[in-house]
Amino acid sequence: MFIGGGNGPFGSFVFPTDPVGLTTAHILYRIPDFESVLQTYVWQDYDLAPEFLEMRKFLDFWQQTLDGPPHSIRYSHKRLIGPNEWRQIDGEFKLH
């Protein structure tokens, strides 16, 4: 859901109200020819918490297409605009 846009109280600024944010996944996986060796892959994309549909699509692609099986996956998520980062101002200053 989006708020703003047009001639409303927020002008032309549009911001998401859903928990959209940057999701980072740190994936350790085994190299196919040397299964005792772990390799690191870092993936980032904008995703919607808590479903993480984009990350799930990527992990499905990984398991169906790539040879190196994942050993472990750690992820973090940071919202783009949180409630404490947005406030409406009552005035504005114009220069020149």
What is the band of 19 on the pLDDT scale with cuts at 50, 70, 90?
Answer: confident
Phi-psi domain of 38 (left: phi exceeds 0; alpha: psi -120 through 50; beta: other): beta
What pLDDT, on a 0 to 100 scale, did the predictor assign at position 16? 55
The whole-number average pLDDT for the span 38-59 is 93
Cα distances (Å, whole numbers) of residue 55 to 25, 33, 83, 89: 8, 26, 24, 36
Backbone angles phi, psi at 39, to 5 degrees: -115, 155
Maximum separation of any 2 CA atoms in the chain, in Å? 67
What pLDDT does residue 4 have?
44
Query: Cα(72)–Cα(64) distance, rounded to whole angstroms?
Result: 17
